């Protein structure tokens, strides 16, 4: 299995629902380093999993839609408790939609999976993996 990872970041504001989150139930900011890892069993005719420039552009577009926003006010996230895990899923599903639309150049059918990891800090991160 081959993989390529691209990285970006996003800064958001949100609040979390549930007593388990303590003070994070209040509106607060978070900065995430976001990794998107594309996996494929084979390389394309150019010897790559996916074009790194295209992958970076797709990731930048997806995190750009979320950055510098209060996610509590985003209609597309209505009813979503925007935990790190859930945000990894949102980013992953949006990247997958772009891959299926051909934005990566290589057919999404040629890619086996995508892993999105949101790093909250140097000691904590959460990931979401999905088939493509």
Q: How many domains are contained in the chain?
A: 1
**What local confidence, expressed as pLDDT, does residue 89 receive?**
98
For residue 96, the enclosing domain spans 2-131
Grade residue 23 by pLDDT with cuts at 50, 70 and 90. Answer: very high
Q: Which domain CATH number covers 64?
A: 3.30.479.10
Grade residue 60 by pLDDT with cuts at 50, 70 and 90. Answer: very high
pTM for this model (two decimals): 0.95
Q: How many helices (H) and strands (E) does the chain have?
A: 2, 5
DSSP label at 110? G
């Amino acid at each position: 299995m081959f993989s390529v990872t691209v990285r970006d970041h996003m800064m958001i504001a949100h609040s979390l629902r549930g007593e388990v989150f303590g003070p994070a139930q209040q509106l607060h900011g978070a900065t995430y380093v976001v990794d998107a890892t594309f996996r494929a069993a084979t390389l394309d005719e150019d010897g790559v999993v996916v074009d790194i420039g295209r992958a970076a552009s797709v990731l930048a577009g997806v995190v750009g839609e979320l950055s510098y926003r209060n996610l509590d006010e985003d209609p597309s996230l209505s009813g979503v408790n925007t935990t790190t895990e859930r945000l990894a899923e949102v980013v992953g599903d949006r990247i997958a939609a772009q891959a299926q639309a051909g934005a990566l150049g290589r057919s999404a059918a040629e890619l086996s999976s995508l892993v999105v990891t949101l790093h909250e800090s140097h000691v904590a991160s959460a990931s979401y993996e999905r088939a493509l």
